[in-house]
Amino acid sequence: MNHQFTYQATLAASEKINWSVEDIIGGERRLNFTKPFLSESQARVEPLSFLSPSEKLTLNQIRGHGYLYTFGLVEEFILPFVLDHARPQLRGDDYRVRALLRFAGEEAKHIHLFKRFREEFEAGFGSVCTVIGPPEEISRAVLSHHPLAVALTIAHIEWMTQRHYTDSVVDDQNLDPQFKSLLKHHWMEEAQHAKLDTLMVEALGEACSDVDIDRAIGEYLQIGGLLDGGLQQQVQFDLESFMRATGRDFNDSEREMFIRVQQQAVRWTFLGSGMTHPNFLATLEGLRQGTRAKVEQIAAAFS
């Protein structure tokens, strides 16, 4: 163990935060469609030099919509998993029960938050953005894996949200303030979730043999492959949504470049930035020596 995370401290931190969906979106709190929603390190619209500034902004916003949808989607499997993890020990450590139930409650709130932002997006963007799914099917496929593999996937996702905010959002003064507020409020609560994930992984790992751990790490990589397949499909949909929104058509080389750059952008946003988070790598190495190097090697393709 190379951390000092506890159920009691994460519970106390969570209880100090306490925002509601209505504090962040609705009424006067509207999206500003003259501003980008995602940082350039995630959207990667600038390499597409054949797009005009307003087309780059439109693509950035389509990717912002995809970000809202993808997080809503992954949180649909995080919520039942955390509840299932809490339930067998409801009479155990009181801090553990309260911290995990609070985690689940916050995740239900985040699902609601991302849906409300999508409603605002749909009301203001002007055309339809196609998305992958349905979330229930992806959730079922992920949850069919070894619990340790699912817990690792969740830890990956939640450390990733920490990195998104601190590496590329907090200092970006150009982003839409409302979208930035969503990312900030999500980051504030995900900080506790990532610590609880670490404790979940450790608890599940303690009950596993080395063979089980190897299997779970293999299945974590399979879940990554499943999500990658979904993300690649989402890029195709983003291309269609972009053409619908702008009326723009591409020649073959422009289309090829759009797909190539955007595939790498979503891979970094949702896979590489989680797989290479130092705390996630430390958790992997704590489970089984040598795992860190294995995952780092695979992550190189998602930079």
Interface with Fe ion by CB under 5 A: which residues? 110, 158, 190, 193
The strand pairing partners of 26, in sequence order, are 29
Residues 6 or more apart whose CB falls under 8 angstroms from that of 138 comprise 73, 76, 77, 132, 226, 230
The strand pairing partners of 29, in sequence order, are 26
Nearer to Fe ion, 158 or 238 (CB): 158
Name the minimum Å distance from CB 61 to Fe ion.
21
Tokens standing for residue 209: 């043999």
Q: Count CB neighbours of 12 within 10 A.
A: 13
Nearer to Fe ion, 10 or 39 (CB): 10
Name the minimum Å distance from CB 78 to Fe ion.
6
Name the minimum Å distance from CB 150 to Fe ion.
14
Nearer to Fe ion, 245 or 275 (CB): 275
Name the minimum Å distance from CB 82 to Fe ion.
9
Nearer to Fe ion, 113 or 231 (CB): 113
Name the minimum Å distance from CB 300 to Fe ion.
26
Nearer to Fe ion, 38 or 235 (CB): 38
- Give the span between the Cα atoms of 200 and 284, in whole angstroms: 13
Tokens standing for residue 245: 């929104």
User: 71, 209 in Cβ contact below 8 A?
Assistant: no
